[in-house]
Amino acid sequence: MDNVLPAFHSLLTSTVNLLTLSSDLGCARIVITGSLTEPPPGKADTPPSSPYAAAKWAGAAFGRMFHSLYHTPVVITRPYMAYGPRQHPSKVIPHTILSLSQGIAPRLSGGARAADWIYISDVIEGMIRAATAAGVEGCTIEFGCGELTTIRDVVHRIVTVMGSPIQPVFGALPDRPAEENRVADVGYAYAKLGWRPTVSLDEGIATTVRSFRNQSKAADESPAATTN
C-alpha cells in the first residue's frame, strides 16, 4: 500500500503533465517508457501485478489517447528485463554480483520466474530509434531478446562467470505474485525500427560482472576508503 501514491504521482501524474504540456507547446516526438509488468495486450481485464505496473499501464493508455484525440506524436516503448552496469544494487543481477564479490550468499526468491533479458545498450539503441524513426507515432514497440530465461539460470551463469564457490540461497525471499512470463515481439521492433538485439545474455552478464568488479575495486582504492 505504501507504494500506491508514490507510483501514481511519480509515474502517472508526471506522464500526463508531460503529454499535456508537449501537446500545448508542440514537439517532434514523445517516447513513453512502458513496462513488461503491464497487463498483456488483449487482456485488458487482467489486474496489474503492482502499483508500478498499474501506473505504467495507465500512462501508456494516456499516451495512446493523446495520440488518437490530439495527434500528439507519441511512441510507447516497452523494455523487458533490462540489465547492465550501474543498475541499482537491489536488482537481482547486481545484488548477486555484489553479494558474491563480498563472499556473501545472495538471498533470492525461488528463481523459477522466466523473463526476457535485454542488455542496456540494446535498450538505448532502441529508444534512440523510437525517437527518430519516421512514421511510428502511435506504435507500441517492445525491446527484448525474444527468449525466456529463468532467474535461477541467470544467477547460475553469474556464479560460473565469477568462479564463485558460494551457493545462492533460493527461496529466501517471497516470489512476486501475479507476474506472467512474456517475451518481447522483436519482429515488430525490427519491422518498425530496423532494431534487433545485438548483445547475447552470456556476453551481457560477463560485461556487467566486469563493470561491477571494476567499480568495487575503484571504490576500495579511492582515498576516501583509506583509513589511517
Question: Is the per-residue pLDDT at 214 higher than 70?
Answer: yes
Secondary structure of residue 150 in the 3-state scheme: strand
Question: Is the per-residue pLDDT at 89 higher than 90?
Answer: yes
Average pLDDT, the chain: 92
Q: Tally Cβ neighbours within 10 Å of residue 192.
A: 17
Better-predicted residue by pLDDT, 134 or 220: 134
Planar angle of CA 98, 124, 142, nearest 5 degrees:
100
Helix (H) or strand (E) run with residue 156 in it:
helix 151-162
CA–CA gap between residue 12 and residue 93 (Å, rounded): 27
Q: Is 135 left (phi over 0), alpha (psi -120 to 50) or beta?
A: left
Question: Is the per-residue pLDDT at 198 higher than 90?
Answer: yes
Question: Is the per-residue pLDDT at 228 higher than 50?
Answer: no
Question: Is the per-residue pLDDT at 225 higher than 70?
Answer: no
> What mean pLDDT comes out for the span 155-183?
91
Question: Is the per-residue pLDDT at 218 higher than 80?
Answer: no
> What mean pLDDT comes out for the span 111-138?
97
> What mean pLDDT comes out for the span 97-115?
95
CA–CA gap between residue 67 and residue 54 (Å, rounded): 20
pTM higher than the cut 0.85? yes
> 130-140: b or e for each residue (b if 16 or more CB lie within 10 Å)?
beebeebebbb
* Residue in the structure block whose three cell numbers are 501514491: 5
Q: For residue 93, what pLDDT is reported?
A: 97
> What mean pLDDT comes out for the span 137-149?
96
Percentages helix, strand, coil for the chain (3-state, rounded to 5) are 50, 10, 40
Which of 105, 211, 101, 94 lies closest to 154, judged by CA? 94
